[in-house]
């Protein structure tokens, strides 16, 4: 019996890239830190919100690499004279990745009350109707 994958289905022509993106995302074990929300803010816009308490703007970087939104966080090790009796606030580095669909662009990023908001916008594709002439032999 032949394994039928998304890219090899006879009705899904040209979707091989989608299958590769799904495989890449499945291999990207994100551990669950930091927690995040994804919300649809309108028909063509989305917002990703990450809980980044304890991180400042200088501790975070946001890049788009090969249609993948990558958010990294690294806190500076400024321990100084502080002695912790209990340390329950996570101070570890992280990397969160989100695969972006074709036509989705990253808008602005804002910090508010320990939450990092990254806005995404999807361009409305122009509808193209193409008529194919039938050649007579």
Q: Are 96 and 70 in contact (CB under 8 A)?
A: yes
Q: What pTM did the predictor assign?
A: 0.69
Express each pLDDT in 35-52 by its tens digit: 999 999 999 999 999 999
Q: Which of 109, 103, 97, 96 is nearest to 121 (CA)?
A: 103
β-strand partners of 66: none
Q: Across the chain, what does the average pLDDT equal?
A: 84
**Residue 94, both tokens:** 């992280």
Domains of the chain with bracketed CATH: 34-122 (2.60.40.790)
């Amino acid at each position: 019996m032949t394994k039928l994958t998304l890219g090899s289905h006879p009705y899904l022509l040209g979707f091989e890239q989608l299958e590769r993106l799904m495989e890449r995302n499945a291999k990207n074990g994100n551990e669950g830190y930091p927690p995040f929300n994804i919300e649809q803010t309108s028909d063509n816009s989305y917002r990703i919100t990450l809980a980044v308490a304890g991180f400042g703007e200088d501790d975070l970087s946001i890049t788009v690499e090969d249609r993948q939104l990558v958010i990294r966080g690294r806190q500076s090790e400024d321990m100084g004279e502080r002695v912790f009796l209990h340390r329950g606030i996570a101070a570890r580095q992280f990397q969160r990745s989100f695969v972006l669909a074709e036509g989705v662009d990253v808008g602005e990023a804002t910090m508010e009350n320990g939450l990092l908001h990254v806005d995404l916008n999807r361009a409305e594709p122009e509808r193209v109707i193409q008529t194919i002439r039938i050649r007579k032999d």
